Amino acid sequence: MNSSVPIFELKNVTQQFGGFQSLVDINLQIQAGDRVALVGSSGAGKSTLISLLNGTLLPTQGEVWVLGRNLAQLRPKLLRQVQRQIGTVYQQFHLVDN
């Protein structure tokens, strides 16, 4: 992969849930080596943004690119391969009860 290709890129992304717009017309590039902190109040769209970046949610409008690939154009098998290259730590750990 070309080093000038962003690790993550959002192009004019809007995410809507029913009549509520969680994110509106977001443009973002994250390059390899960048350090990014998501800070905001409850309901600000932080979890939605993470879900878009890791491919568990596709945007209502716009494009999400990860590792040079448009996630909306990937077949499920290739999407899972891209997702395996992304580490996500959730606020709720989503672990099996023991």
Q: What's the predicted TM-score (pTM) here? A: 0.85
pLDDT by residue, tens only, the chain of 98 residues: 556 899 999 999 999 999 999 999 999 999 999 999 999 999 899 999 999 999 999 999 999 999 999 999 999 999 999 999 988 877 776 666 66
Complete domains list, the chain, with CATH:
8-83 (3.40.50.300)
**Going along 6-60, which residue ranges are E strands?**
8-17, 20-30
Q: How deeply is 52 buried, as exposed, middle or buried, from its count of CB atoms within 10 A (0-12, 13-18, 19+)?
A: buried
